Structure 1
Amino acid sequence: MVTSTRAAFLSFTALMVLCLTATLARGGEYAEVTDNGYGAVATVQPRATEAAMNAYAAGGNAVDAAVAAALTLGVVDGHNSGIGGGLFAVVHWSDGRVEAIDGREMAPAAAHRDMYVREGEYRPELSKRGPLAVGIPGSVAALDYMMEKGGKASLARHLNAAADLAENGFAIDGIFARRLKRHTEDLSAYPGTAAIFLDAQGQPWPVGHRLKQPDLAKTYRAIAEKGGSYFYGGGFAQTVGQWMEHNGGLITREDFADYELIRRRPVVSEYRGYSVYGFPPPSSGGVHVAQMLNILEGYDLSALSEANRYHLLAEVMKLAFADRAYWLGDPAFAKVPKGLISEAYAQTLRARLSLEKTTTVPDYSTPPKAQEELFGKHTTHIATADKDGNWVAITSTVNTNFGSKVVVPGTGVVLNNQMDDFSAQPGEPNAYGLIGAEANSIAPGKRPLSSMSPTVLTREGKPVLTLGAAGGPTIITQVLQTLINHIDLGMGLEDAMRMARVHHQWRPNELFVEKTLVDPIREALKEKGHSLRQLGDYGSTQAIGLDEQGHFVSVAEPRLEERNRVE
């Protein structure tokens, strides 16, 4: 098991380097505030930010801006997100309520725990590529709901605007071109995918090629005209279901028709006078950000040396990810204890930590009332906010680059490979090296566990910060470190996001560090017992906050510009 986990994690390091730089474009802005100060947006793609600003200019609010950005990312950033995938959103509505909107993918009705076993052997590639890797997408349902509840325009307007871009095309940048080149072999295995992303000779499109996606535009326009029913049970679902039937998949038209959007109560915790609203299970992000903040609140982080602070962060991450591996899953199928975010449990875990050396974490811990008090039944992040009080955090994904690599001919939609986020075989690592248990095993209609961590903070009842990140399991630790740097160390948002990051996910027992972490701190961490592994620079966090005058401060991942210059 140790060997397979380490091998998966080594592939994870390469995957992170590829996925986390996959959303750059040249020119334009990643984060903007409207001229009149009404609204703000931060995304990973200038065209998506532009779409959000256009939505504001047309009289829309933060909900319009977020939905416009999400649909545009499905055109220009389709290797990371789109309507063939799913999303989690935490929204602070203008009336003061906070809601968690679950548009996570679902397993088809015919799914079962041994669907990736052939002749008694687990075949992990089947959950990563091809028809069996696909879960029922939820993004369309979630975006439709958001617009119905709080948008000023219509979903159709934003769909048609994104369809225009898909039809007219956009110039491929160097990073998109390299993603195509790296995945050419997998993309070529599916005619519908190859027809879009490869030329007539089966070669990836080069930098500067104007990528036009008429089939995606057609699908967007059909949803705009006929509504979500076209996607869920109508023409789109029928086309996908027929393709699956002829290509060894399990998904049917009925699976689409049975998809259920879930409105959940956010995970709410208190930290240094802030109320922190995170996403509940089947996200692990909200639970474990809250769990780690609870432990850290017992320390004066600003008084610690930098080495001790990084050490403490690593130790807290290790404890949280050990619990994640055992307890977390879809609450409709697994018993996920609310005690994970209790102060009493935080005190128990805090007592195990030492500032002088690493702590051995052989297994998960058990929170209080673990069987009684339960939660109810490559990625990109969008942050928007407006002066009416709408603050939106959306994290959207098709999972790894180009998801399952499947585009059903005629649809133009990249389908996710979210089934790999289940514990396809409990105890075996997934594409990100994460270990899972029975709580996240495959079952019909179940939603796979996620690390997505859309987060909104309020102070004295007023929203003051929205943030989230991309990057597999590092999403959770990126959000944690941004909050610590901003709240405890008093850094501005950009500086808080620019600080060197570390990441520990329990298995394997290694601490990831960015290349910018200086040697004296590295040596101090090694002396405390940490085994370090460098992962270049990683992560893609987006955030919006307020300055001292109450004006919006919108910040996109600072590493994006540097990576762009490197290209």
Structure 2
Amino acid sequence: MRDRLLAICFALALTAPAAAADPEPVAGSGGMVVSAHDLASQVGAEILRGSGNAVDAAVAVGYALAVVYPQAGNIGGGGFMTLRLADGRATFIDFREKAPLAATATLFQDAAGKVVPGRSTESWLGVGVPGTVLGLETARTRYGTMSRAALMAPAIRLAREGYVFGQGDAGIMALEGDKLARDPEARRIFLPHGRPPARGERLVQKDLAATLSLIAAKGPDAFYRGPIGAAIAAASARGGGIITREDLARYKVRELKPIECDYRGYHVISAPPPSSGGVSICEALNILSGYDLGAMGFHSADEVHVLVETLRRVYVDRNNKLGDPDFVANPTAELLDPAYAARLRAGIDPARATPSSRLGPPVPAPEGHSTTQYDVLDADGNAVSVTYTLNDWFGIHRVAPGTGIVMNNEMDDFTSKPGAPNMFGLVQGAANAVGPGKTPLSSMSPTIVTRDGKVALIIGSPGGSRIITITLEAIINMVDHGMDVQQAINAPRIHEQWLPDVVSLEPFALSPDTRALLERRGHKFSDEENWGIAEGISVGAPRFTPGPRTGAGFLAVGGAIAPGATMFGAHDARGTGGSAVAVH
């Protein structure tokens, strides 16, 4: 929904990505940063040009995005970081928001048990305990090399001195201006002249600069146990929310083992629960490994049929079996078992679509599109993929007074009531019910793919429940269809998530003939505007060697390759203002 409106506002005009020539990926050899805002990408590249590694750059980019991409970049939200270090270690940092201790399973229902519209998305009750500050600091202290003050200095400068709006900045602010105007603090900061800033005007965020300066000097305690947290708790109480200073003081980051699987000679490293992303991507790849997608052809009737039928089954499991691992016994081993994939594959009729009503529980049990993704690779081979979010654009569209911090509405990612869809249409089960101290299930899927022990691809995207399919399709496009990383990201997308029983299509995703063939097989389609803003880095060459049975090696083909280039960055053409920045 949000991505559709943003696509219209920004006039992205990915009108015919399959027919138009995609630009070559940005080439480099000394490092690469790709993010949704050029200023943040430049900040990360400057860290890599100095003494910093990929983790240092990722921390700096995260704070910079909180300033220049306030609709999704944040310190008032949370997210995930997947790391694959130069020595071969892989790990995952979960800094997702958590439910306050006063949260209950019926928090968003009225006395009659009906979900109250807006309670989880537009009020302080929708705010989860933020994790970004502690998450970035955890990554820095465990895997970075530079001081917190040095990494935060660029963000502080951008907040204090301001930055000049581009068209993308002005577009999102105009889109969200009416909602921001409802909150006095948000209105004061983001509508300084009584209207959203226009292209070429400067946005200064002095309160946020002071907040960031305090964190730089005092560390996470300033946020979780000090004056910043106190201001957030006070604002929550005044607004009818339930976040307390105790909730903030108790917040902890988890470092977890990533989800890993193999696909046609490539090794996939992705997000574990409380993300559903890694499990869903690997479950899908396991099923699809039984088909020769390359021979079928990109978005042919046969390929789309098996992809949709795979996704239909994967999302049944995603929506009903997964949740916070501290509260739910996730059946990860079963879902990733090749034998389980074979059973699901055997149930796919090659000639007919399966009605979603035939799958899943008799009474079935969306997450924010407005997230942001960024990727970093350094010269030593350290790779970082980060997805973090406020959920909706600008979260609840409220700012804790005196802090400059935009607050999330991540509580909407819980199951407000089993069987009732969330803001993105996901129909989920009791495993993801609201609970005190619990982390809501996510689709965020920061992913790293390796080949022969070396990083081959860093990929991820915003898009709510569609993050999984965006990331999955990018991998398939490269491994099975031989696209370079820019083509793989720009290619038109399809999406199916079990319920509603409809296949969403971006413009030009299917030819009329292909669509007619699929409709005769029983598939139902919904035409939509473009969604997601993926970011990717391929390593070794812009594209993988086509060859669905072997997935062997790399092949540098298509366009002029910069001499000595070993890494290739791609920012999604659906998003204005972002960039891939190379270090040479």
Q: TM-score, normalised by structure 1?
A: 0.90
Residue type of the partner of 1:327?
K
Query: For the Cα contact (< 8 Å) 1:379–1:472, is it kept in 2?
Result: yes
Q: Is the 8 A contact 1:31 1:49 kept in 2?
A: no
Instruction: Measure how far apart 1:95 and its partner are.
Output: 2.2
* Residue number in structure 2 paired with 1:379: 371
| Partner AA of 2:233 in structure 1 | G
Partner of 1:320: 314
Within 5 A, what are the aligned runs for 1:395-434? 395-434=387-426
Please give the alpha-carbon distance, in whole angstroms, between the structure 2 residues aligned to 1:23 and 1:316: 33
Match of 2:345 in 1: 350
Which is bigger in relative contact order (C-alpha 8 A, separation at least 6)? 2
Which of 484, 499, 514 is residue 507 of structure 1 equivalent to? 499
SS state at 2:499 partner: coil
- Cα pair 2:7 2:529 within 8 Å, conserved: no
On the 8 A contact 1:90/1:393 being kept in 2, the answer is yes
Q: Is the 8 A contact 1:117 1:123 kept in 2?
A: yes
Q: Residues 282 and 331 of structure 1 are in contact (CA less than 8 Å); yes or no, is this contact kept in structure 2?
A: yes
Cα drift, residue 329 of structure 1: 1.0
Within the candidate set 95, 116, 119, 1:123 is matched to 116
Match of 2:574 in 1: 559
TM-score (structure 2 length as normaliser): 0.87
- Write out per-residue CA displacement over residues 149-172 of structure 1, whole angstroms, 9 at most, x where no aligned residue: 222212221212101001111122
Q: Percent of aligned positions with the same letter in both sequences?
A: 37
Deviations 1:342-367 (A, max 9, x none): 1011001000112322112326559x
By how many angstroms is 1:470 displaced?
1.1
1:84/1:415 contact within 8 Å kept: yes
Distance 2:423 2:462 in 1: 15
Per-residue deviation at 1:200?
5.1
- Segments of structure 1 that go 5 or more residues without pairing to the other structure are 1-13, 367-377
Amino acid at match of 1:99: T
8 Å contact kept, 1:96–1:389: no
Q: Is the 8 A contact 2:37 2:578 kept in 1?
A: no
d(CA) in 2 for partners of 1:208, 1:469 = 28
What is the CA-CA distance between 1:224 and the residue it aligns to?
A: 0.2
Deviation at 1:559, TM superposition (A): 3.1
For residues 497 and 218 of structure 2, what CA distance do their matches in structure 1 show?
44
Deviates more, 1:292-301 or 1:303-312: 303-312
CA 1:543/1:49 → structure 2, altered by over 3 Å: closer, same or farther? Answer: same
1:22-61 alignment to 2 at 5 Å? 37-61=29-53
Secondary structure of 2:406's match? coil
2:128 equivalent in structure 1:
135
| One-letter code aligned to 1:348 | R
Separation (CA, whole Å) in 2 of partners of 1:58 and 1:563: 22
In the TM superposition, 1:242-253 aligns within 5 A as 242-253=234-245
Q: Cα distance 1:563–1:97, how it changes in 2: closer, same or farther (>3 A)?
A: closer
Q: SS of the residue aligned with 1:245?
A: helix
Say if 2:289 is the partner of 1:293: no
Q: Which residue of 2 aligns with 1:223?
A: 215
1:104 paired to 2:91: no
Q: How far is 1:267 from its partner?
A: 0.6
Query: Would you identify which runs of 4 or more consecutive aligned residues in structure 1 move more than 6 Å?
Result: 20-25
- What are the residue-to-residue correspondences of 1:335-484 with 2, within 5 Å? 335-338=329-332, 339-362=334-357, 364=359, 378-484=370-476
Structure 1 Cα separation of the partners of residues 488 and 245 of structure 2: 46
Residues 424, 441 of structure 1: 8 Å contact kept: yes
> Aligned equivalents of 1:260 and 1:22: distance in 2?
38
Match of 1:4 in 2: none
User: Contact 1:284 / 1:451 at 8 angstroms: preserved in 2?
Assistant: yes
SS in 2 for 1:458: strand
Supply the distance in 2 between the matched residues of 1:496 and 1:182 (Cα, whole angstroms).
29
Amino acid at match of 1:127: S
Give, as a single letter, the amino acid of the residue that structure 1 aligns with 2:523.
H
Residue 41 and residue 175 in structure 1: after superposition, are their counterparts in 2 closer, same or farther (change >3 A)?
closer
Root mean square deviation, CA, Å? 2.2
**Bigger Cα displacement from structure 2, 537-546 vs 517-526:** 517-526
| Alpha-carbon distance in 1 for matches of 2:515, 2:46 | 45
Q: Tell me which residue corresponds to 2:2.
A: 15
Q: CA deviation at 1:246?
A: 2.2
Structure 2 unaligned spans of 5+: 13-22, 362-369, 542-554, 557-564, 580-584
The number of equivalent residue pairs is: 534
8 A Cα contact 1:30 1:49, kept in partner: no
1:326·1:364 contact (CA, 8 Å) conserved in 2?
A: no
Name the counterpart of 2:296.
304
Residues 486-501 of structure 1: pairs in structure 2 closer than 5 A: 486-501=478-493
For residue 237 of structure 1, the aligned residue among 221, 225, 229 is 229
Helix, strand or coil: the match of 1:239? helix
User: Which letter does structure 2 place at the counterpart of 1:553?
Assistant: F
* 1:52-81: CA deviation from partner (whole Å, max 9, x where unpaired): 111112221111222211111111111112
Please give the per-residue CA displacement for 1:442-501, whole angstroms capped at 9, x wherever unaligned: 000000011100111122222221111111111100111111110111221112222221
Supply the distance in 2 between the matched residues of 1:142 and 1:75 (Cα, whole angstroms). Answer: 17
Per the alignment, residue 161 of structure 1 pairs with 154
Per the alignment, residue 80 of structure 1 pairs with: 72
